[in-house]
Structure 1
Amino acid sequence: MDRTHFREIPEFRLSVKKIFLCDTAEELSEKITCYTRSDTQSDTFKRQYWPLVKCITIKVPNSKDLLEHVVLVDLPGNGDSNKSRDEMWKSFVGNCSAVWIVSDIARATSEKESWEILDSTVSLIGPGGECRSISFICTKTDDIEENQKADAHTCILRRNETTKKQVRDKFTKQKEVKKHFSVGNDFLKVFTVSSKEYQKEKHLQQEETEIPKLMEFLRNLNDRRTKTSEYVSEAYGILSLIQGAKSSDMTDNKEEVCQVLEQRLKEKIKSIGQSMDDAYKAFERCLSKGVQQSEESCEKIMNKVIAPRGKKGSGYQLVKSLCKNGGVHKPKGKRERRREINLNESLATCMRSLIDEEFKKHFP
């Protein structure tokens, strides 16, 4: 590897982190632009390293109120051209306690990509994942038509309410979401935000920009983590008391108390073991049935994926891509935003559908 090509980032050759320390967000943005985006419109040539970047971590000072126990992960989205990033975000999303889908308010319901991301990741953030809520964040609410600016305040708020209803209506029609989640009234949150109005307050009050609501959402996540920490501390305190009692002098009934506790402990362990055995047998039964159904329908599923009705040609190229990429095909080009084809997911649908309900019973 020619080191002259990496004079600006010697860390790359050493496989270590590159660190920037900045006083302002503007300064940081300027320094990391070549690592985060492809600026093909720039008049001045500047070497770009974004294809080499796997992950960028930004630490914000003086934000304990919002981010002390919270990590915001900006994921690249479905079907990223960089394979390592594409794999990385899929491994991350299952560990997220809340998922935010961000879209321009003008395209919130019409843009396919946002809904395809939700559809394709629901199996990752569903059973077994940490996700407890999904939020749809509609941005640029201040961006309105020229003829609406005379009554901008009313127009913005009216469009916000209309968009919220449209997003919720569309969300309720997502069958895959209902399969994987026990969708309650608070599961989907829709925010209509404007960072410009939050800073300038030209047409809206800060509260109306709904950015304070997002901040409150983060505070609640923080509080939840804090309460968990306090609970663990209290549990540790109880254990310390037990340990202290164990080491101190006790009355003559010490042996009798120990026998009672030991007997109860054995009964509870036996009960837990029985519950685990029942769950294991239920899962094994569902998976066995799912495997059988998958074997019986695999040819039909493969034909549906590889040669769907109404589409001709390109079958060979699709099969070639699936074989080359471990059962996953990512359409290229901007001719149309076609969805990623995942043969593995399609073949596993029988097992997933059979085990999902049982999984939710044991892990609500």
Structure 2
Amino acid sequence: MRLTDFDFHLPEDRIALRPARPRDSARLLQVKDGGVSDLGVLDLPDLLEPGDLLVFNDTRVIPAALTGVRPARAHGGGGDVEIEINLHKRDDEAVWRAFVRPAKRLKEDDTLQFKGGLTAQVTEKREGGEVVLTFDRSGVDLDRAIVEAGAPPLPPYIASKRAADAADLKDYQTVYAAPDKAGSVAAPTAGLHFTDRLFAALEARGIKRTHVTLHVGAGTFLPVKTDDLSEHQMHAECYEISEQTADLINQTRKAGGRIIAVGTTSIRTLESAADEDGTVRAEARDTSIFITPGYRFKVIDALMTNFHLPKSTLFMLVSALAGFDEMQAAYAHAIRNEYRFFSYGDSSLLWRKG
């Protein structure tokens, strides 16, 4: 298939700039057996069966949007230059990969200065506006400095329309994000709809839940630049699945329960860690899995996810799961019926075709 197969027109007013309040009041579009149903997130317990298992990504978003200054160079003219930084993957205790703008104003060995006295050296410059930054501190000290200097890393389609503010510190974080799992530079947004009352209703219904961890990178927002999908390379992201979680998933499948991934990050984690027979392994490693129509899912029965961008890798993933024609029709229905799209938008429950 070609990139253009995944294009569609989305009116600007369908892009949500703020989440529904309360979180669980968002709408939910169910896509199942070739049809669609207009529902709400609070209907989720009734759409699942006792013994089903929801798999969440418990990563915590860090304030990965930084504004730095590259001081004027001694030779070469010009003054200080403001540089926008989006951290996307940690390589070491003091080293992060980042996307920068304007990248053309940076060279290797340049030093960047941030709020609170934090500094970083550009140790490598790569294609696509990516650089490698080595900071002047590491570990917990660096984490604290990033919290002080950074802001919530809102997606470009929101950040281009308004600045991040204090509300985003809470809104752009799931209620179950683990304090010791900080590392994402984008939220696993399907999970933003969950609240304590929704969890209570799911538990009362006999629906189980567990967690995996995948630290979401800013590469999730990068556009696909080639029409031939086989030429696209996903940015790697690191994930972890515990023995307890792997055992629960495998036991649930053996008992006839269904596995419902909450978010595309959860589905990418599980499919990356699955053997051909669907057995999930406990492991910690990187994945650059790219799921497009024709992929054979090994673990997942359904996916709860928000509505994605035209021509995005995530729209390709949902088309692989629920069917290309089905998702084209579902998105057209969602647009006609004024569903809210993207990170702060409404939700969908997509059942695996076949």
Q: TM-score range by the shorter chain?
A: under 0.3
Q: Identify which of structures 1 and 2 has the higher relative contact order when contacts are C-alpha pairs closer than 8 Å and 6+ apart.
A: 2
Q: Higher strand share goes to which structure?
A: 2
* Structure-2-length-normalised TM-score: 0.24
Larger Rg: 1
Between Structure 1 and Structure 2, which shows a larger proportion of helix residues?
Answer: 1
